[in-house]
Amino acid sequence: MASLQELKREYTKAINNGKAAIFAGAGLSCASGFVNWKELMRDLASDIRLDVDKEDDLVSVAQFYFNEKAGRGQINQKLMDCFTSFANSNENIEILSRLPINTYWTTNYDKIIEEGLKLAGKTVDIKYDTENFSVEVPNSDVTLYKMHGDISYPSKAILTKDDYESYNQTRQVFTTALQGDLVKKTFLFIGCSMTDPNMKYILSRIRLILKNNQRTHYCLLKKIEKKEYFKHEEYEYAVNKRLLEIRDLQRYGIDVVEYNKHSDITTILKQIEGCYQLSNIYLSGSASDYGMLWGDSAQTFLKKFTEMCFLNGYKITTGYGNGVGSFVISSILEKVLDSHDIIDKYLCLRPFPYDDRKRLDYKELKYNYRVSMIKPTGVGVFVFGNKEIGGEIVLADGVYEEYKICKLLNKLIIPIGSTGYVAAKILNEITQEIESYSYLEPYISILQKETKIETIIETVKKIISNYYKNIIDFEV
């Protein structure tokens, strides 16, 4: 069994490396009002005089119903009744949709995942049948594999024993694709019981192929609680069975992480998002004048700060701030060319596209643009912050506005006050309410006065690292 700390650390790494995937079971959709397998089959089981609360093998129950009714017309209607009603997205799907995860697998029939991804502005390529594999959605951000079908086509949904037994003949392409993703990506299983017979078959194939060289995946499972059982013996039995299931999943490279209550999933996903965002730094600053302290070393500082971000896997998002942006760009380009890497992995350049100051919505446009730049990041680093107007050096109001946005969005804020101007103003304000910025308290003096480049850069690294460690170590 894996620790929560390991899950957050390793899955965040997978997201940063573009190797993260999600496998969603019915539990992910239940929060949006959809039923799980047991509730789906309850009335159908009752019609053939079975009680779903006494049955573990619900696939067999579906098959029994099919046999007794000589067809699946009523099963198809039940699917339509349960999964075509309108349901809102839920917070877990909203968090996942914000993360740069480009591979989703699900056994669910509903459309909650794709709708959530679309609301997040992503283009989704949905594979719900074998025919979909030969066609690709242009410029898609995410591929969603609905390996048991889609509610729009209930007659093709995988539900009965017949469907499962013939799966490898009728949907071999899904099996092959999932095998490939399980080898290449790190999966997080959410809302899954891990008893799906088709899933077990695929995992066993992976195990036979890779033997002991399997990739580690993670599965969130709710802890077994004593209050759910009338008898102590039943509770002990369930706990023992869970331990055996956990050990069995380890054969397939799946480590279980247990949580106490369903709201813990949301907390865990928020922490993963927080860890991911800490690797994305918003660098805010402009400088028509570097001041007396930094006149000779400002450019070197900006280049070395950018180099530190590159070497430590941080991605910088920045506008084309005068006296700041050009040095960030040139430093990243040099590093990328030397390492033959991809520039988009380390730099998101967002110059302001709005020049028509006479537009009535000009201020609103600029503000919303700034929000869109800052929102995906986790850290706001502020340097300098001045501009020239009529031959006079004044504070850059745009840099200060970016600070207010970072504060509103609860970002980690690190102002290098020794660079002066708006950065100094921000640090002074923070010092007045330091209880809200406790992560900065040990470093206030350095941020206020230090001009030694190496010391400032190491301090920024330490602040981010400590904050990251706090999220990793935080228990739910």
Residue 60 lies in a domain: no
Total of domains in the chain = 2
H and E: helices and strands count for the chain: 21, 14
**Global pTM value:** 0.90
| Per-residue burial over 265-296, b = 16 or more CB atoms within 10 Å of its CB, e = otherwise | bbebbebbbbbbbbbbbbbbbbbbbbbeebee
**Domain range for 143:** 4-34+87-275
Same domain, 317 and 208: no
Residue 235 lies in a domain: yes
Answer whether 464's CB lies under 8 Å from 448's CB.
Answer: no
Structure-model confidence comparison of residues 210 and 98, the more confident one:
98
Half-sphere exposure of 296 (CA within 13 A, CB side): 2
Residue 67 lies in a domain: no
Same domain, 219 and 349: no
Residue 316 lies in a domain: yes
Same domain, 220 and 286: no
CATH number reported for the structural domain that contains residue 123 in this entry: 3.40.50.1220
Mean pLDDT of 159-187: 90
Residue 196 has pLDDT above 70, yes or no: no
CATH number reported for the structural domain that contains residue 345 in this entry: 3.40.50.450
Give the orientation angle of helix 172-184 with respect to helix 197-210, to 10 degrees: 50
Residue pointed to by tokens 């923070």:
430
Residue 276 has pLDDT above 80, yes or no: yes
Give me the catalytic one of 148, 217, 232, 262. Answer: 148
The last residue of one of the domains, among 231, 255, 275, is 275
Distance separating alpha carbons of residues 13 and 452, to the nearest angstrom: 31
At 147, which amino acid appears? Answer: M
Same domain, 292 and 405: yes
The last residue of one of the domains, among 275, 293, 327, is 275
Same domain, 144 and 233: yes
Residue 70 lies in a domain: no
What confidence score (pLDDT) does residue 200 get?
A: 72
Task: Give per-residue pLDDT as tens, 317-360.
Answer: 998 889 999 999 999 998 888 877 788 889 998 887 767 777 88
Same domain, 288 and 269: no
Mean pLDDT of 142-146: 97
Residue 185 lies in a domain: yes
Residue 86 has pLDDT above 60, yes or no: no
The first and second tokens of residue 196, run together, are 């799906």
Distance separating alpha carbons of residues 262 and 28, to the nearest angstrom: 10
Same domain, 168 and 148: yes
Same domain, 219 and 364: no
- Contacts for 291 with CB less than 8 Å, ≥ 6 apart: 384, 419, 420, 421
Distance separating alpha carbons of residues 321 and 318, to the nearest angstrom: 8
What confidence score (pLDDT) does residue 354 get?
A: 66
What confidence score (pLDDT) does residue 40 get?
A: 79
CA 413 to chain centre: 21
Mean pLDDT of 3-19: 96
Same domain, 283 and 366: yes
Same domain, 395 and 288: yes
Task: Give per-residue pLDDT as tens, 240-262.
Answer: 999 998 998 888 889 999 999 98
H/E run at residue 349? strand 347-349
Answer whether 222's CB lies under 8 Å from 259's CB.
Answer: yes
Same domain, 264 and 287: no
Mean pLDDT of 106-116: 90
The last residue of one of the domains, among 275, 309, 331, is 275
Q: Is 148 annotated as catalytic?
A: yes
Residue 142 lies in a domain: yes
Residue 124 lies in a domain: yes
What confidence score (pLDDT) does residue 419 get?
A: 98
Same domain, 236 and 365: no
- Split at pLDDT 50, 70, 90, the class of 475 is confident
